[in-house]
Structure 1
């Protein structure tokens, strides 16, 4: 059964920026240092240009206490929504 969604699920990078970094008045540069990644990479994640990988989700968990699973579930929902907007004409039912 396929659920219809009316809105694009929020990218976890947006949540990281809006709910964690901004309330703490933490710059991307400082947060990148804390997470052990480049500022460019973190910027791409917070602009929804790159996914939150398991490694990044775990880094976020270690640095903030927010669970890696939460960020990964959000990423999966976002990715599946994007995929469901595409057509897979080469896929047929397995019978």
Structure 2
């Protein structure tokens, strides 16, 4: 099982701070449903993933003004040695 760590870069024009984040992922070859997860903003990483392959990842954040950002798209790979 692998958890993939990532960084959330955040800047807010009116000074709000990062309050929450959520993510979703799926195999890059999939056209099916996404797997959603809540992100710990102090230690952002995926849940344990057990299937090897290339993944699509989308993350959005919420500021203290309770506004959610658009989804930000990225990708990662789970390999046999859990290297990303």
Q: Would you tell me which structure has more helix in proportion to its own residues?
A: 1
User: TM-score, normalising length from structure 1?
Assistant: 0.27
Q: Which has the larger radius of gyration?
A: 1
User: TM-score, normalising length from structure 2?
Assistant: 0.29
Instruction: Report which structure shows greater RCO (CA 8 Å, sep ≥6).
Output: 2
Q: Would you tell me which structure has more strand in proportion to its own residues?
A: 2
